[in-house]
Each structure stands twice: as C-alpha cells, then as structure tokens.
Structure 1
Amino acid sequence: MKRAVFRAKVHLLMRQDLRAFQDMRRHEAMSETELSRLIDESSVRIALHAFDNSPFYRELYSEAGFSRADIAVADNFTRLPVVTKERLRAAGDTVLAQNIAPHRALLSQTGGSTGSPLRVRNDAAAPTAPMWWRIYRWWGIDPADDTAFVYRRLRQGKDAWLYAAQWWPSRHLLLDARAITEPSVEEFIEQWIRVKPRLLVAYVEGATAVAAHLERTGRKLSTTAVSVTAAMLQSGQRELLERAFGAPVFDTYRSAEIPWIAAECAAHDGLHVAADQRRIDIIDEDGNPVDAGVDGSIVATDFSNEVFPLVRYEMGDRSRTLPGRCACGRAFPRIAPVQGRIADAICTPSGKRVTGGLSGLFLSSPGAIRQMQIVQHADFSITLRYVAAAPDLADAAVMLAVRTLEDLLDGEVRVTPLAVDAIESTAGKARLVVSEVEG
C-alpha cells in the first residue's frame, strides 16, 4: 500500500520530478560518447548562466581573462578558475543569480568541521528527489520504504507533524547525531523494532556508534541496506555495520553545498558520479587535471543549481578517478571512496607535508581495527588513536602502521599508538587528522 500511495502522490503532485527521474534512468544507459556530450553541454550551460547572472562569477571570469565567447567553448571549462570555500564565504550574496525568483533559494549551511560554517543556497527547482530515487533503486530500495536516519537535523512540534503527514503512510525515524547517548540509542532501537525500516541513512560515525552499542549488548537490527555519508568509511566500520544490521553498506558522497554527488552501486567498486547532474574533476595543487588513478583535490560542478551556481567548486576533499566501466554496466564514471580532506595533512619539523595515503594505513589488515584517527601535536609528535576490532590482529597491524607513518615522515616524527574505546566525533562526523601544528 505504501508504494502505491507514494506513486499516486508522485503522479498527481510531482510530475516534473517523475519526468526527471525517467530521464535520469535513460542517462544510465548512455554510450560514452553520448554521456561525454551531455557533460560538455551541461558544463557550458551552467558556466554561461553563472557569467550572465551572478556578479561574483562575472567578475571572477573577467578578471581571469575569460570572455563569454571563451566560456562557451567546452574545452575551456577545465581552465576556468577554481572557486574555494574562502572565496564563496567572502563573496556572500553576490554569488546569487540575479534573475531567479527568491522563493527558489533554500538556505543550506555546512557543519563547519574544518572552520567556519559556509552558507549557500540550494535550488528548490533542482531535481533532488529524483536523484535519490534513482540511487535508492540501485540498492533495491523504494522511495516509499520505511527509513531510519542518524542525522543532525531534528524536527520538532508542527514541523515534525507536517513532515510525518507529508510522508504518510511511510514512516521515518530519526536519531539526532548531535546527541547520541545510551538512552537515545535504546529509544531508537525500540522504534526500529516497531517500524522495521528497510533502509538506514546515517553519518558514518553516528551509524558506527549505534552498531557498537548493538554489538556490546549482543543484539542486531535487520534491514535491507545501509547508506553512509559525511566522513571516510573505514573498512573496519563497514564490517561492523554489516554485522550489526545484516545488510550491505553503501558509501555515498554528499554535502550541504551539493547534495547527491556520487554513490556506490551493488558492485561496491568505487562511487558512481551522477554525471548527468554533477561534474567531478580531480586537480593537483597547481589546479591542473591529474591522470586517472592519481589522487588529487575534488572540484565539483552542480548542473542543477541555478540559484547559487557552484562551478568548479573545490570541495576540500581528496579522491581519484577510476578507469574503465563498472561491472554493473552503468555509464556514469566512478571515483574512489573519498580519502579524507585536503586539511587532513601531517608534517615534519623540516617542512615535509604528507596529504595522501593516510586513510590506507590498515589496508593490509582491514579486519584488525574498526576506526583510527591521527592526532599531530604542537611539537610535531603523533598519536595514532585506534579502536581494535580483532585484538589478536590489532597489535601487529598497529605496529606496521606506526612504522609506515614514521617512514612517510622520514623518521623525523615520533608516532605513538593509543588504543581507545571510541573515536570522538562531532554531530556524527569525525576527522581523520587532527593537527595542533600552527600554520
């Protein structure tokens, strides 16, 4: 009944979204040439829209020497200036397109885990719902299915009632990722047992906290799929979540600035970029494109946000493109799971800076630890904090990781392992690297 009611609502009230969803499904089967043409056309369209309608982009591109005619050439797209968080923060409302109705601008704010929060505007006319309908379908989930969330957004009073009415007869339950305690987790578990959701959508660290609680108390909660976001998914966390919830875990790449960028399919071989709606370029420190398989900084373009254009926006995260086509057959390109943020760097007293490979310290022993975090203190020394998953394997794996870190830092920095019960998180998110080194 729930699925029938949902489909009736879509056909009656969301016909534009339904058409967008049907188009998106067709895009999955495009040839490489067709998809490349679509990406080029969409890139030029949003860049021209930004130049024509946003004072910020008009000034940015003009100062960099780009005319409107230059921007209209697809081959010039990767030469356009990269937009950083700092630039956006300083630009404020000058980023807004001047010809768009104000009611389309939906305020969104980043969590500020690496500094001051950034306020942007999402586009109410963007086909966001069809994007998650499509990705849910990859996981065998229907949009009408009951769903559990571990998120930082919590509705109260009238808002909660309206939300429940909007989704009726589907049921959604929420655990506030900002306030995870044993009593709140127990209440969440009780709700889960009553509702039996087919999908869990959660911040990585929030889901891990629930799964660890289940493991400590000798219980499991069954579902069909687990979707995680907001932080790097470590291999030990994936194993824990799959044990606790008896379902495959799907990594996703999303943000407050650009929702639904990329997601795993059932092949679990990288994350498919939703390339008909988003463009991902990987660049080096000088802003140049890198080859496939080479780590770099993620630069994203949102084709569907005309209110607050995000064109070649540096996300602050690192990844690499994966060659070839996925075994699932979908046309969309893939990136490797996001391997930490640009800010996730450690350094030596002599000035060497290490930004890549830190998330892979335990790849050779994926079942040994559940989580890890690198803390570099003001004197450059490092504490490698870790949560052991298999005590009989953890000791050897940790010592190998310590040696690897010390070698990466040319023996200049002392690395001390520290076993902990949990990695501290903020609102369900945890940093891979915490640095106290100035500068």
Structure 2
Amino acid sequence: MTDAPTRAGLLGERDFIRYLTARCLGTLAVQMQTVAVGWQVYQTTRDPLHLGFIGLSQFLPFIVLILPAGHVADSFDRRRIVTGCYFLNMICALSLLTLSLRGVNSVTPIFALMTLLGITRAFAMPAAQALIPNLVPPQSFARAVAVNQSVFQVSTIVGPTLGGVLYLAGASVVYGIVATLLFTSTLLMLRIRSGGRSASVAPAVSVQSLLSGLRFVKSKPIVLGAISLDLFAVLFGGATALLPVYAHDILHTSSAGLGLLRTAPAVGAMICALALAAKPLSRHVGAWMFGGVTVFGIATIVFGLSTNLAVSMVALTLLGAGDMVSVYLRHLLVQLETPDAIRGRVSAVNAVFVGASNELGEFESGVTAAWFGTVRAVVVGGAATLIVAAVWSRLFPELRSMDRLPTAAR
C-alpha cells in the first residue's frame, strides 16, 4: 500500500497540474479578450484615447486594492480566492458577450467591466503567487516556478494571435470562447484539494497589518534588492512600448512585422523558462540575476540602434530571455524568504513593484521619446538599466554574492 507521504506528494502533483492548466486557460482567455475589447472599442469610437482608458480602468483598481488583496490572501483559502476570481472573469466575459449580441454601442459598460477585471486581477495575483509553494514540495519549487512561467509565456504568445483570428468571426465568438475557457479554469480550481493558507488564525485587519508586507520586504535586503532591481531595470528599459514607432518609421515593416516584434520577447522568455524548468539554477544565484539584467540592458541598446528587422528580432528575443532570468529568480527569492503566514502580503508588494515598472516604464519610454527622439530614448534607457545593475550590485552585496537559494521559510 502507498504510504501517506507518497499519497500526499501525488495529490500535490495532480493539484499543481490542475493549477497550471487553469492558469494556462485563464491567461489565454484574458489575452484573447484584451484583443477583442481593444478592437471593439476602437471600432465603436475611432478614438485612440479610449484605448488608454481600457488600461487605466484596470490599472487604478489594481493599485488601490493590491495591498488589501494581499491581506485577504493571508486570511482566507487562497485556492478559493483564485477560483472566485476566475468565476468573476467568466461573468465579465458573459456580460461582454451579451452586450455584443445586443449590439450595444456604448463603451461605458465595457469600461465598467474592465474595472471589475482590474479588481479580480488585484485579488488573484497575490493569492496565486502565494499558492504555488503550498502545492509543491520545497525541493520541486524552483522547477515549478519555471514551468509556471513557461505556461504563462505560451499563453501570452498564443492568446493575442488566437483572439485576433477569432475576431474575424465576430466579437461575440471571442467572448463566448473566453467564457468557456474561464468556466473550465473555475472547475479545475475547484478540484484542487491540497494547498491553501497554512495560518490557523487570520491576521486582524489594520493599517499595520496591511503594511506588514512592505515592512518585511524592507527588513530583507535580498528581497528588497531583487524586487527593486527588477523595478528600475524594466522602468528604464521599456523599449517595447515604442515598437509601433520602430516598426513603421525605423524598420519600415508592416503590421505583420509589428506582430513579430511584439512576440519576440515572449518567445525568448518562454525558451528561457523551459530551459530553467529542465535545469533549475542552483548555484551563483546573485551572479545569474545581475547577469540577466545586464543582458536585458545590452539587448535594449542593440535593439535601439538596429535598423534591420532580423537583428531587432534577435535583440528582443535576448531581451525577453534576460528578463525571464530576473523574473524567475525574483519570484523564487520572494517566496522562499517569506513565511507562509505573510506570503500573500509580500506577494502583493511584489505585484505593486511589477505593475508599477510595466505601466510607468511605458509612460517613461513615451515621454523620453518625445523629448530626445525614439532611438536615443531606447539607447539611453538600456544604458540606464546597465547603470542600475552596477549601482545595485554595490548597494546590495548580499544579493550580488548569493550562491545558493535559501530554504523555504515556514
């Protein structure tokens, strides 16, 4: 007869596969829906400003609610939080389907539904990140993170393309398929039996409790260094926001070429994530992290100076691979250094840094391009990333010299 530890391990493996499948389908659905909503809103209004409102309507509730969401992830069953978020996303998709079938031309209800998606994203992100260590044994965590990132990148690559192709049959077709995928994700999450929140007593709601994740990050130089390094590297090296300008004015390619350029970083990230899943990093962790950021910065400079589509594609692929090394190690350090009782709140802080770097990085790229010109803005941004890596290696010597990953905190 199979002993209890073996049965628990098999259960955890099955539950992690369910989690991965649910995340794959959920991410695929969101990416498809994002393309459909963008096309529909622009077809309705012919106003590019409304495309900005789509992102803003999701970003504002995310920033406002992410820290309370981290507290919720440490107070309730994380499996049920993620399940509820998938269910609400499905309701959004069904609502968009209804609006499309009824021929509603107003974009106001679409923005309202995008706001609800921003709310669910705020609650899902810390709960999902904090859940993974509860689903796999410590010795499998590094490989689990790499596999999880691989799944995310594959969905990010396939989702927009699939959404664009299906939109040719109508927005309602996309929303119907999205709803079906999210319904499947909800069912898969409901079947997960292991994991969840390990704390037996939920932390009391207070300002001190909400900010405890920030205090923990501040008290851990390695975690603070990893998170802030990624923040400033992406903030200054956000070349992808200017891809339409490069495609049209510098590389002189078509919309198909723009699609290839947008896909290249995700392809690089996916290849790197698969390599890390096959052979997780175990030594020279600090050197690998700073090396990934350095590759990211150099690739950004090469892309900025390139006038050849093939060279630009290679540079963007390497950019995505370098970024994946940094993302992979940051995620491992945050989760392994953090006790489970506070993991949701620390994951929320991590999400704030990641969200801020992506959104503000795009804004910074647009502003500097307007000031200095597109090529100069990208090259200066890549150089700034290299400077950040050099400065952070001096500010956080513990991170720079780290050899092995820490054991999981309890």
Smaller-chain TM-score bracket:
under 0.3
**Which of 1 and 2 has greater Rg?**
1
The structure carrying a bigger helix percent of its residues is 2
Length-normalised TM-score, structure 1: 0.26
The structure carrying a bigger strand percent of its residues is 1
